[in-house]
Amino acid sequence: MRGVLETAAAVRAGTLSARALVEDTLIALVADTHVAVTRVLHDRARAEADAIDAMVAAGRDPGPLAGVPYGVKDLFDVCGLPTTAGSGLYADAAPAGADAEALARLTAAGAICVATLNMDEFAYGFATINAAYGTTRNPSDPSRLAGGSSGGSAAIVAAGLLAFSLGSDTNGSIRVPASLCGLYGLKPTHGDLPLGGVFPFAESFDDIGPFTRSVEDMALVWQVLAGRRVDGGRADGSGDFRVARLGGRFRENAEPVQLAAIDAIAPDAPLVELPEIARARSAAFLITACEGGALHREALAGQAMAFDPQVRDRLIAGALLPEALYQEAQAFRADYCARIRALVADYDVLLAPATPTFAPAIADPRILIDGALSPARADLGIHTQPITFTGLPSLAVPLYRPGELPIGLQLIGRAGREADLFAFAAKLEADGITGYGMPQGAASGHCMPQDAA
């Protein structure tokens, strides 16, 4: 399948019809078997495609994303549809009166929204095991999880059905499925991309970001969402990246292939150990639980049995946590973020694993953490959650492993310096270290989604 840049260039040149591309895409989405799609937006997609083709025919530039179909995690407002946040509780909610700000920016750039995509209910999990909409399957091996909570957004791009998609990341919900599906996935600097019209989970950590199959596509979608151009990607312009490897807990609970790749990328780079990682992750869990529980307290009081049982119990527990404990965790976070930003100020890129292991089996969704089996739904984010806590940007990059199960690394940067991450990722991609590589024999399969025509 064409990437974002290639598709947009062909549409702008008039060698590819946006309507024809959309029709092919709609057929593929209706037939998807990865349980990635919740609604196919037939009428909207066709109308937007026709508008793009009309602009091209009139000699006008539709924008940098001209005619590129994309999908969104089912917590973005899509005008005219209920925003379900992956829950049957809101399947019949009042429709959104306008698109989320992120969708509005993509539409203005010429992109075409074609689908809403599966997720863990209320984004609470790392697995996309959803009681209402099903479990999303990994395109590299359909017997395995795609990761979560943005699993549908990752699977649909990894399967080659869309060139990019949008997800959200609170504690790793973009980076985890990007790693397990072999994609690029960005958690930006906290608060950098627009959250208007996005159903919240934990506002202290919530961010949105894209999934793509190449770093150049990632940079383009990011700059449309951010409303600014990539600035070249090196603060000093030297081209020599100051790199460190994260040590301590980031060298534990990782696959040998990840550690070998990190050490090969930067063999002489210092090992930097972030302090109090366990405490940071515990505080992140606590803040997430408190904010999630508070958000859903009223619905839990009146309709508790309508929640996914695994999500319901976690939200109830969060709603019962003392306010003083929440405030203590937030105070620790403020101090911790200041210390971490000072610690990493001398580096452009920090290297770390994105997930502790490969995608676990759907039949047994557990992973080994410190030698004991642990629920994947809770612990696939062991390496992403501490980075979220700092608010720093993190780009998941796929190790190039055609014929093997996907797995990725995190490139972590300084606040506001996503461009450094893109530039470094482009170097790794050019060197053949990272890149999208669907395993041999994997193919785009097909599930009947709900139809929103």
Catalytic-labelled residue, pool 87, 149, 150, 394? 149
CB 100 within 8 A of CB 76: yes
What is the rounded distance in angstroms from the CA atom of residue 215 to the CA atom of residue 428?
Answer: 10
State the CB neighbour count (10 A cutoff) for residue 277. Answer: 19
Angle between helices 215-226 and 4-13 (to 10 degrees): 70
Q: Is 73 a catalytic residue?
A: yes
How does strand 37-40 pair with strand 450-451?
parallel
CB 91 within 8 A of CB 82: yes
What is the rounded distance in angstroms from the CA atom of residue 421 to the CA atom of residue 215?
Answer: 10
Number of residues written out for the chain: 453
Catalytic-labelled residue, pool 150, 168, 173, 179? 173
Reduce the secondary structure of the chain to three states and give it as a string. Answer: CCCHHHHHHHHHHCCCCHHHHHHHHHHHHHCECCCCEEEECHHHHHHHHHHHHHHHHCCCCCCCCCCCEEEEECCECCECCCCCCCCHHHCCCCCECCCCHHHHHHHHCCCEEEEEECCCHHHCCCCCEECCCEECEECCEEEEECCCCCHHHHHHHHCCCCCEEEEEECCCCCHHHHHHHCCEEEECCCCCCCCCCECCCCCCCCEEEEEECCHHHHHHHHHHHHCCCCCCCCCCCCCCCCEEEECHHHHCCCCHHHHHHHHHHCCCCCEECCCCHHHHHHHHHHHHHHHHHHHCHHHHHHHHHHCCHHHHHHHHHHHCCCHHHHHHHHHHHHHHHHHHHHHHCCCCEEEEECCCCCCCECCCCEEEECCEEEEHHHHCCCCCHHHHHHCCCEEEEEECCCCCCCCEEEEECCCCCHHHHHHHHHHHHHCCCECCCCCCCCCCCECCCEECC
Q: Is 173 a catalytic residue?
A: yes
Structure token digits, residue 208: 């949105």
How far does Cα 426 stand from its chain's mean position? Answer: 19
Structure token digits, residue 137: 């399957």
**Residues with a known catalytic role:** 73, 149, 173
